[in-house]
Chain A
Amino acid sequence: MLNNVVIIPTGDELNEGIVLDTDSPMIMQEIIRLDGRCNILRSQPVYDKEDKIIECIKSYAAGKADLIIIIGGSGGGHRYEKTLGKDYTHSALDLILKEKYSSVVYGKNGHMWSKLTCGKLGETLVINVPGPYDEACAVIKAFCRAYKADKDDLEGMNRSMMKALIGQYGNQEPDRIIQED
């Protein structure tokens, strides 16, 4: 049962009001569909800085959140092109989650499009979804289905979420899968 769920959008452009956050309401709706009894908090957007994201996740985890969902910052971003947004969510999750499972999707140019992670911080389940609305929608729906099937199967959740993500690009089956040692 989910008692407390926290949605954390990331991005300087959200904080500055340049872009509307349409992902959070959509995710809230999906979580309510998953468990209509839970409390859901949408956090103030976090600036794209690794330490700020980590601080925010740890703070909500310490506050007994059952599930934390972080939106955006899942791609290569500024590492690929300096004009693009700073994407730090995936690296922040790598730093703080010990028990986790991740999948990474790359474009044909070697650019990391998105890294999705499911992990545990203490008793709190932490996941991330990509920023683009359609992809975020597909991924959160897949998460909800997988969570309902087995809330402790991090690998199963993560694989379902990634399959839903790449399905958005017309690739139901990935061209290549590389297992990382």
Chain B
Amino acid sequence: MEDNKIIVQVDKTVIKIEGLSIKGLNLQEVERIISNKLNSLVRIIGVTGKTIEMDVYGIEEEDILKDERGIIKAVSLAEGITLSDLAQISRVKKIKSFDIDHIPEHNGGCRGERWL
């Protein structure tokens, strides 16, 4: 059968916060807290015991960095997250867009890895 490939055009910024202690986290709760704080859609995309990584839609990098402490404080309100003294936003990166008409074919994985 044929596969269907769909491209969605949405601006997003990837944020990583480190210096946390995480156990028993409800991701919906964190998404709701950050979403209310930034007034934007948020999706958690990676969690370890010490870090949390998320996509934030429609917010610029500089706006994130301007309110770093506020965002970290907001994250700490979620049950299951404890802040350490070293808690910080270690990465803020807005995704780059590419010309969809010139994406090279790549078998067996994500197309994005070709550029990153």
A interface residue numbers (CB < 8 A to B): 13, 16-20, 22, 75-77, 79-81, 83-85, 91, 99-113, 132-134, 154-155, 158-159, 162, 166, 169-171, 174-181
Contacts and interface: CB of A to CB of B under 8 A. Distances in A.
B6 A83 contact: no
B92 interface: no
Given A80-B110, A101-B1, A107 B10 contact: yes
B103 to A, nearest CB: 6
Contacts of B41: 169
Contact of A112 (B26, B100, B111): B111
Contacts, number: 165
Interface of B: 1-12, 14, 16, 22-28, 31, 41, 43-49, 51, 53, 57, 80, 95-98, 100, 103, 108-116
Given A79-B109, A81-B116, A108-B7, 20 more contacts: A16-B49, A20-B24, A80-B113, A103-B3, A105-B6, A105-B7, A105-B8, A106-B5, A106-B8, A108-B97, A109-B97, A109-B115, A110-B98, A111-B112, A158-B4, A162-B4, A174-B7, A175-B9, A177-B5, A177-B6
B1 A154 contact: yes
A159 B49 CA distance: 36
